[in-house]
Amino acid sequence: SQQGEEDPQALSIQEGENATMNCSYKTSINNLQWYRQNSGRGLVHLILIRSNEREKHSGRLRVTLDTSKKSSSLLITASRAADTASYFCATDRSGGGADGLTFGKGTHLIIQP
């Protein structure tokens, strides 16, 4: 069953604008991760935020985590055409890999040039 649910399912913006994607989950977690997938290829890890962290930055990426609301958001600033991809949140309940990662269905982001 899906743990994370991304919102929106699809997002289309102009190049240079900021893109925000949200993720909600159901159970307690050790950490939450965001991955990118380009057109049916493998997933690439973007960023990991632990349950005791509230915000994390990596380049043009900003992730927030609200454990009281069981939600996270991914902000991509100054979007580029190359950011066009599907973005997935994934929750890790144990932190040790025992349960694998539980993925949402993803947000398909399209950056219009």
Binding residues for another protein, rule: CB under 8 A, are 1-2, 30-31, 33, 35, 40-45, 48, 88, 90, 92, 95-106
CB of 17 to another protein, least distance (A): 26
Q: How far apart are CA 24 and CA 37, in angstroms?
A: 19
Q: Which residue, 82 or 98, is less far from another protein as judged by CB?
A: 98
Peptide bond into 8 cis (omega under 30): yes
Q: How far apart are CA 5 and CA 105, in angstroms?
A: 6
CB of 104 to another protein, least distance (A): 6
CB of 57 to another protein, least distance (A): 17
Tell me the backbone φ, ψ of residue 81, rounded to 5 degrees.
Answer: -55, -35
Q: Which residue, 44 or 78, is less far from another protein as judged by CB?
A: 44
Q: How far apart are CA 42 and CA 29, in angstroms?
A: 24
CB of 98 to another protein, least distance (A): 6
